[in-house]
């Protein structure tokens, strides 16, 4: 974007605002509906400009959908902000303030969002994860406790099942006994858990059914540290492209696994992180008036991780077997040890 449209600038910064300076944030477009991300600056005032588009030329797993019921409906985040739903979140969880949703002549949509200045999730201590989980539990607990769950057509439904369908290649690789014998993998698994890992993938339908049987709530579906900020003590969450209706506990469990899989929390702290998030989420649910015990919260989180990350063991051994240089953007030899710890944790969650 060479320049911000003048009408958008005036709507956000006022009629007296002149041309704003745009700073590209160097966004690596993984979720390909996001075609650009900039910081707009008018004097000492700033905003984040996020431009969404259908990206029909995109291919592969992250190709956005053009139907409202697609798991990656390209306009879902814009619809969520335009609806007024996100500012109503409670319990200390919030989205960035949205100053403008602008539909442009080329069909793209520009979101003008609050420039969050708080401490980002990737540098949090475990105590801050517990606070975030408490905020999440309180916000989601409102819907569990009786607040009407929105039913707009753009909200995702059955999102996790659709997501897993795109992970089938990785998931099925867990049954390849030869792949588990790769030296880098074997060093982490002297006794390869082939049957257990294959069963984790094969039983994903059961885990999904368990999630569906739980109380339903408003779910982010992409709750990882890079999407979180400490905003003056509240937990601000960005990137609402997958928001929808799903089972209690899915987001909380995902936060634990994502934090380690993405190398934000050391694998050695995985159990401590799980304890912190489970305790915080339980506290938040209870604060919202949900009469639920700690064991049911842990069971809900376990169902979530068993489903959402059932493909991870296969992805690990597949990366090694195919001789890839990297796994999740880290050198393979470095990443495998971290991911192996998560695999052991996933299998323990399932057996527990």
Q: How far is CA 207 from CA 184, 220, 299, 305, 306, in A?
A: 30, 19, 11, 9, 6
What average pLDDT does range 149-153 have in this prediction? Answer: 96
Q: Which range in 24-38, 59-73, 310-324 is most confidently predicted, on average pLDDT?
A: 310-324
Please check whether residue 61 is in contact with residue 28, taking contact to mean a CB–CB distance below 8 angstroms: no
Q: How confident is the model at residue 228 (pLDDT cuts 50, 70, 90)?
A: very high
Residue 52 scores a pLDDT above 80: yes
- Specify the residue for token string 């003048």: 6
pLDDT of residue 19: 84
- CA-to-CA distance for 277 and 126, rounded, in angstroms? 9
Q: What's the rounded Cα separation, in Å, for the pair 117 and 232? A: 9
Strand order in the sheet with 244-247: 156-157, 244-247, 216-219
pLDDT at 39 over 70: yes
pLDDT band at 18 (very low <50, low <70, confident <90, very high): confident
- Tokens 């993984």, residue? 30
| Half-sphere exposure (Cβ direction) of 33: Cα atoms closer than 13 Å | 22
Task: Say what the pLDDT of residue 58 is.
Answer: 67
Assess contact for 261 and 339: CB atoms under 8 A. yes
Instruction: Work out the percent of the chain whose per-residue pLDDT is above 90.
Output: 89
Count of CB atoms within 10 A of residue 289's CB?
13
Per-residue model confidence (pLDDT) at position 56: 66
Output 19 or 219, whichever has higher pLDDT: 219
Query: Given the structure tokens 């929105």, which residue do they identify?
Result: 150
What is the pairing mode between strands 244-247 and 216-219? antiparallel
* Of residues 72 and 61, more confidently modeled: 72
Residue 16 has pLDDT above 80, yes or no: no
Exposure string over 37-66, b if 16+ CB within 10 A, otherwise e: bbebebeeebbbbbbbbbbeebeeeebbbe
CA distance 195 to 316: 15
Q: What is the pLDDT of residues 239-278, one digit of tens each?
A: 999 999 999 999 999 999 999 999 999 999 999 999 999 9
pTM for the complete prediction? 0.95
Closest CA to 130 of 35, 7, 272: 272
At a CB cut-off of 8 Å and minimum separation 6, what does 234 contact? Answer: 92, 93, 94, 135
């Amino acid at each position: 974007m060479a320049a911000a449209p003048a009408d958008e600038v005036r709507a956000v910064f006022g009629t007296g605002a002149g041309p704003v300076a745009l700073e590209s944030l160097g966004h690596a477009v993984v979720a390909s509906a996001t075609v650009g991300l900039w910081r707009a600056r008018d004097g000492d005032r700033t905003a984040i400009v996020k431009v969404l588009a259908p990206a029909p030329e995109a291919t592969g797993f992250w190709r956005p959908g053009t139907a409202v019921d697609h798991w990656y409906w390209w306009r879902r985040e814009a619809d969520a902000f335009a609806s007024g739903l996100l500012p109503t979140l409670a319990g200390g969880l919030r989205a960035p303030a949205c100053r403008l949703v602008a539909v442009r002549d080329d069909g793209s949509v520009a979101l003008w969002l609050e420039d969050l200045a708080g401490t980002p999730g990737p540098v949090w201590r475990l105590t801050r994860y517990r606070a975030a989980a408490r905020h999440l539990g309180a916000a989601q607990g409102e819907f569990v406790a009786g607040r009407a769950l929105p039913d707009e057509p753009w909200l995702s439904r059955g999102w996790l099942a659709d997501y897993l369908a795109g992970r089938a290649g990785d998931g099925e690789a867990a049954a390849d006994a030869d792949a588990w014998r790769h030296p880098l993998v074997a060093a982490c698994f002297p006794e390869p858990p082939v049957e257990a890992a294959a069963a984790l993938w094969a039983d994903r339908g059961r885990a999904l059914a368990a999630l569906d049987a739980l109380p339903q709530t408003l779910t982010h579906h992409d709750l990882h540290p890079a999407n979180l900020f400490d905003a003056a003590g509240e937990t601000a969450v960005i990137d609402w492209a997958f928001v929808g209706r799903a089972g209690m506990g899915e987001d909380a469990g995902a936060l634990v696994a994502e934090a380690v899989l993405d190398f934000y929390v050391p694998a050695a702290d995985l159990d401590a992180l799980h304890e912190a998030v489970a305790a915080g989420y339980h506290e938040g649910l209870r604060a919202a008036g949900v009469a639920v015990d700690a064991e049911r919260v842990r069971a809900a989180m376990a169902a979530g991780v068993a489903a959402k990350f059932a493909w991870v063991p296969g992805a690990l051994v597949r990366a090694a077997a195919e001789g890839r240089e990297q796994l999740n953007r880290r050198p393979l030899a470095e990443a495998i040890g971290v991911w192996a710890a998560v695999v052991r944790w996933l299998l323990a969650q399932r057996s527990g």
